[in-house]
Amino acid sequence: MAPHPLSSAQQQSVEQLLETMTLSEKIGQMTQPEKNSVKPGDVTRLSLGSVLSGGGGNPDPNTPQSWREMVGAFHEEAQQSRLGIPLLYGVDAVHGHNNVVGATVFPHNIGLGATRDADLVRRIGRATALEVAATDVRWDFAPAVSVPQDVRWGRTYEGYSQDTGVVSELAAALIEGFRGDGWATPTSVLPSVKHFIADAATTWGTSRRADRSTLATDRTLAIAQMGQSFVELLDLGAWQIDQGNSEIDEATLRAVHLPPYQAAIEAGALNVMVSYSSWQGLKMHAQHYLLTEVLKGELGFAGFVVSDWEAIDQIHPGDYDRCVVDAINAGLDMVMVPFDYERFIASLGRAVQSGQVSESRIDDAVRRILTAKVALGLFEHPRTDPALLNLVGCAEHRTLAREAVQKSLVLLKNVGDVLPLDPAGPELLVAGEAADDLGAQCGGWTISWMGGHGPVTPGTTLLEGLQAAGGQVHFSPDGVVDRDYPVGVVVLAEAPYAEGMGDRSDLSLSADQVALLERVRARCTRLVVVLLSGRPLIITEQLPQWDALVAAWLPGTEGQGVADVLYGERPFTGKLSFDWPHSHADLPRRPEATLLFPLGAGLTTDADSIRFPGLQDNAKV
């Protein structure tokens, strides 16, 4: 059990503050609206404890400076409330401060898992915390400590690995980076360890998020209504597994999914976010046993538990009062409402008045929230230093991201040592729009919730990286060329997605991608394929045609990191952090499944012999 985060004097100050608070002020602290829903003056009037930016909850214009002004205005409102309790502003900085145009975007966690490099992840945690703090934000909804078991899940890339030990180690390292020189220092950032628990163990087909019956009450989907493309995504499998039901037994839940929370708490995490999913048929947001008995009791978690976005609404669709009562009694301390916060406040007020929620439960919730605020030193310095703005997207952080990209690449096939390429060699054919698509290489949770295509933020595409490395490159987006080349590099990408919008029943390459591969194959003696994806894809049929395969995941803004390794300036060292399935029949993951490549696979080039590494051809393919 982790020691209490506060000194006894600090604990006393929390008790004293609690005694001076009215019930409304307490409920205000437990309420978290999204910034686009908050009416001016309401943070002061209702003593709101927190505000968040959802994915894409950006100011206009989207600059680091205007982020700071936007967040600062909420802090000022909090300071004007009767008790002046500082506000916690929360963001999803899940691969760098990814909503902010100009911030450094690091590889998504699946790529960091392939590095197996805890020290690197610690440094990324520190750099991310500095960029987040620069915008006056001290709370980050990361790390996801999901342990994905079915790569059809749209959130696979948010997980470091299918392996519990890898997840625990890297999550703890990120949290240490968030802490920096101490939680009470003004550049620490409170992690939100998510999504408690077994979010990544749900069964395909059990998600109810996009059911006709629930759509009517779901404001997120109504607002995000993606028209025809949404309908098409539903056909491909959107919201089939994300937010679904996990049927695993308790022993598996404890062995596979609980240890990362333990590691995170030991590293000092004082916030946990609850999963949208269910366990054995009951929504996690209503799981008293797991939230209160296991997390707060057994693990001795002294921090606070926050709900996910509009998630309590799913406990009893259509009966909000019952949702509120069950969630708070299960152990939720703060609710990410995110829209109609006055409805939440009124509902919880009624529940306390009628005795359905006890005052001691409210006190416990507020005590936990105040504990985190005191631990972060917010009462002494509710604001951060504006000079930090210079660090957003700075050269040092971009160099770190480039290092992360280099280390995240996994070389899965290399017949006849086609890689590394010789920068002084003949002209290289690079094909595929994805080679020059910064949005695609960043993936979801980049500037907007779903991410996008093209130059969404400053950065370097793979193509620009290859060009900058000095080699001669001919770029053909569609692979239609009028002569032959000794080596072709085809870059294929999944279109960006987030959450259940990325659930897919079919992980095969598209017909367009296969056609592109065939065109380039016909024009090149040797074919190198670079995959930009949030998970392993089904490539068994095409792989024999390729001389080399590099899994590059979702590398982020620093595309030179890929060129560094393709040209042999740096060695390949990444190892798969997931099994690579042979076919769809091998999903979800299970011991008897056939694998194209197992967890841990990855050819390595030795730093001293990069040019002629003498690699063995991958025997199986």
User: What residues are labeled active site?
Assistant: 308, 499
Q: Which stretch in 53-61, 252-260, 293-301, 367-375 sits in contact with ligand BGC by CB under 6 A?
A: 53-61
Question: Residue 187's Cα: distance from chain center in Å?
Answer: 21
Q: What are the residues whose beta carbons fall under 8 Å from the beta carbon of 270, sequence distance 6 or more?
A: 5, 183, 190, 302, 303, 304, 371, 372, 375
Q: How far is the CB of 257 from ligand BGC (least distance, A)?
A: 16
Q: Where are the alpha helices (DSSP H) in 376-446?
A: 395-408, 438-442
Q: Give, as ranges, the residues between 431 and 470 that touch ligand BGC (CB under 6 A).
A: 449
Q: How far is the CB of 197 from ligand BGC (least distance, A)?
A: 14
Distance CA(322)–CA(278), nearest Å, equals 17
Q: How far is the CB of 122 from ligand BGC (least distance, A)?
A: 22
Q: How far is the CB of 83 from ligand BGC (least distance, A)?
A: 27
Closest to ligand BGC by CB, 230 vs 379, is 230
Task: Compute the C-alpha angle 157/159/162, nearest 5°.
Answer: 110
Q: Which stretch in 38-46, 55-63, 101-109, 433-441 sits in contact with ligand BGC by CB under 6 A?
A: 55-63
Q: How far is the CB of 54 from ligand BGC (least distance, A)?
A: 3
Which segments of 494-609 are extended strands (E)?
Answer: 524-532, 548-551, 580-581, 595-597
- Number of chain positions touching ligand BGC (CB under 6 A): 14
Question: Residue 18's Cα: distance from chain center in Å?
Answer: 34
Q: How far is the CB of 33 from ligand BGC (least distance, A)?
A: 12
Q: Where are the alpha helices (DSSP H) in 135-258?
A: 164-179, 212-215, 219-224, 227-236, 250-252
Task: Compute the C-alpha angle 530/107/470, nearest 5°.
Answer: 55
> For the window 301-320, what string marks contact with ligand BGC as x by the rule CB under 6 A?
-------xx-----------
Residue 111, token pair as written in the block: 């790529």
> For residues 520 and 479, is the Cβ–Cβ distance under 8 A?
yes
Distance CA(26)–CA(9), nearest Å, equals 21
Q: How far is the CB of 159 from ligand BGC (least distance, A)?
A: 12
Contact flag: residue 585 with ligand BGC (CB under 6 A): no
Closest to ligand BGC by CB, 117 vs 150, is 150
Distance CA(235)–CA(243), nearest Å, equals 17
Contact flag: residue 220 with ligand BGC (CB under 6 A): yes
Among 56, 64, 237, 581, binds ligand BGC (CB under 6 A): 56
Q: Give, as ranges, the residues between 221 and 240 that touch ligand BGC (CB under 6 A).
A: 223-224
Distance CA(152)–CA(268), nearest Å, equals 32
> For the window 330-349, what string marks contact with ligand BGC as x by the rule CB under 6 A?
--------------------
Contact flag: residue 159 with ligand BGC (CB under 6 A): no
Among 5, 28, 33, 55, binds ligand BGC (CB under 6 A): 55
Q: Peptide bond before 317: cis, by omega within 30 degrees of 0?
A: no
> For the window 105-124, what string marks contact with ligand BGC as x by the rule CB under 6 A?
--------------------
Q: Which stretch in 48-56, 105-113, 262-270, 344-352 sits in contact with ligand BGC by CB under 6 A?
A: 48-56
> For the window 187-206, what string marks contact with ligand BGC as x by the rule CB under 6 A?
-------x------------
Closest to ligand BGC by CB, 56 vs 439, is 56
Q: Give, as ranges, the residues between 125 and 144 that touch ligand BGC (CB under 6 A).
A: 141
Q: What are the residues whose beta carbons fall under 8 Å from the beta carbon of 293, sequence distance 6 or more?
A: none
Distance CA(177)–CA(132), nearest Å, equals 12
CA dist 527 to 86, 490, 491, 492, Å?
A: 57, 7, 11, 13
Closest to ligand BGC by CB, 194 vs 521, is 194
Q: Give, as ranges, the residues between 362 and 391 that touch ligand BGC (CB under 6 A).
A: none
Q: How far is the CB of 330 from ligand BGC (least distance, A)?
A: 18
Phi-psi region of 603 (alpha: psi -120 to 50; beta: other; left: phi over 0): beta
Phi, psi torsion values for 436, nearest 5 degrees: -125, 45
Distance CA(212)–CA(210), nearest Å, equals 6
> For the window 470-499, what string marks contact with ligand BGC as x by the rule CB under 6 A?
-----------------------------x
Q: Which stretch in 49-57, 65-73, 325-333, 518-526 sits in contact with ligand BGC by CB under 6 A?
A: 49-57
Which segments of 197-336 are extended strands (E)?
Answer: 245-246, 271-274, 278-279, 282-283, 304-306, 335-336
Among 92, 169, 333, 586, binds ligand BGC (CB under 6 A): 92
Distance CA(312)–CA(297), nearest Å, equals 22
Residues that bind ligand BGC (CB under 6 A): 54-57, 92, 141, 194, 220, 223-224, 308-309, 449, 499
